[in-house]
Amino acid sequence: MNADVIIVGAGIIGAACAHGFAERGLDVLLLDDQRGGATAAGMGHLVVMDDNPAELALSHYSLSLWRQWAPLLDEGCAYRNCGTLWLAANEDELAVAEQKSTLLDAEGLGCRMLSASAVHEAEPMLRPGLVGGLHVSGDGIVYAPNVARWLLAQQPQRIRQQHAQVSEVSGNRVRLCSGEWLSAEVVVLATGSARELCPELPIRPKKGHLLITDRYPTRLRHQLVELGYVSSAHSSAGTSVAFNAQPRPTGQILIGSSRQFDSLTPEVEHDVLARMLQRAIDYLPSLAQMNAIRSWTGFRAATPDSLPLLGPHPSQPGLWLALGHEGLGVTTAPATAQLVVNQVCKQPCAIDVTPYLPQRFASAEQPA
């Protein structure tokens, strides 16, 4: 055995899992090809999502763990408890905000409905004419790549990192592109490119664009998201855009978002970027006078039901999955690590893991 646990992927999910196993006293070997993934490309919005009970349970639990980490994180992690302001552009969206408020309030989450004037007071840069919004106070932002590095630095005696590309996975064994085989009691697949290694998994790449502005003295105060984002985020085909803007501690504004199932190229597609930016300008007209300094794309790993795969592979003993988070990988990283580590260590989990088990997609012929 080369370690107690081998983890493939050193993004926020892999790093959180490595940290969790190391805290249990296990020796971890973390393999990463350093090609960059969803962690480096994402926004780092920590948000409770409530499209279904399982998503709500996972994101709510994870944000409680983020708040435990928050006082320990260094400044480079850029954690800020800015809250999320969900914006209603019409009466139908305001009704969605009220439903969301009722649901989150029942979970004990701090939220309150805002009138049109209160929305403008909270964020003067927004265009006039919005009918209201919902403020969720417990949400935040973070710079995920630095959090991943911070997590790995907490247990240097237990976590070894190796720059290596994995070409094959077979249960508790992995083969590197060099031809070398490595083995452990447990292998955890925590990479968005998992379909290359396990083509049987129901994972589809979903491309997204982001853009960041130059630094400006006028800053946003909250993460801003249009309520139309919910339907856009879970579209299952084609291309969609929605307004999503984040205030960075640097004074920059990070702008999203787009979703594409029909493009597998990493290049920025200017027609999609233009649609996304026009949507952003519709909500923040002053963006049209700002300079953009960089735009980029990334790929989210999406499952058919928009829930991650957290647990044992249905047909490969020794192989565990921690992937398929779509756009919620950063948000749910702490909870993902706890659920996977506790399952491996045969310890009770804080929430029911059944909705996230990979077995839900296994055919009747596959062994459990």
Q: Are 88 and 96 in contact (CB under 8 A)?
A: yes
Contact 48, 136 (CB under 8 A): yes
Which residue spans of the chain are classified as CATH 3.50.50.60? 3-42+144-203+305-361
Q: Where in the chain is the domain with CATH 3.30.9.10?
A: 80-139+204-302
Residue closest to 42 by CA, chosen among 301, 334, 316: 301
Instruction: Measure the CA–CA gap between 318 and 140, rounded to whole angstroms.
Output: 35
Tokens in use for 243? 């307004």
**Rounded to whole angstroms, how far apart are CA atoms 318 and 272?**
41
pLDDT digits (tens, 9 = 90+) for 333-366: 999 999 999 999 999 999 999 999 999 998 633 4
Write 103-106 long-range contacts (CB < 8 A, 24+).
Answer: 103/50, 103/56, 104/48, 104/50, 104/136
* Span 188-207, average pLDDT: 90
Section 103-125 average pLDDT: 95
pTM: 0.93
Tokens of 158: 């237990």
User: Please, which pLDDT band fits residue 264 given cuts at 50, 70 and 90?
Assistant: confident
Summarised one tens digit per residue, pLDDT across range 67-84 is 999 999 999 999 999 999
Q: How far apart, in whole angstroms, are the C-alpha atoms of residue 281 and residue 144?
A: 26
Q: Which two tokens stand for residue 24?
A: 């249990």
For residue 194, pLDDT beyond 90: no
Residue 228 has pLDDT above 90, yes or no: no
Looking at 162-295, list the stretches that DSSP marks H as alpha helix, in order from N- to C-terminal side: 194-197, 229-233, 270-283
In this predicted structure, what is the pLDDT of residue 367? 41
User: Is the separation of the CB atoms in 104 and 136 below 8 Å?
Assistant: yes
240's tokens: 């969609």
Return the CATH architecture of domain 80-139+204-302. 2-Layer Sandwich (3.30)
Residue 5 confidence (pLDDT) above 90:
yes
Average pLDDT score over residue span 223-231: 83
CA distances from 151 to 28, 158, 309, 332 (A): 13, 12, 22, 15
Instruction: Say which CATH superfamily domain 3-42+144-203+305-361 falls into.
Output: FAD/NAD(P)-binding domain (3.50.50.60)
Segments in the chain forming alpha helices (H): 12-23, 38-41, 53-69, 91-106, 116-122, 144-153, 194-197, 229-233, 270-283, 329-344
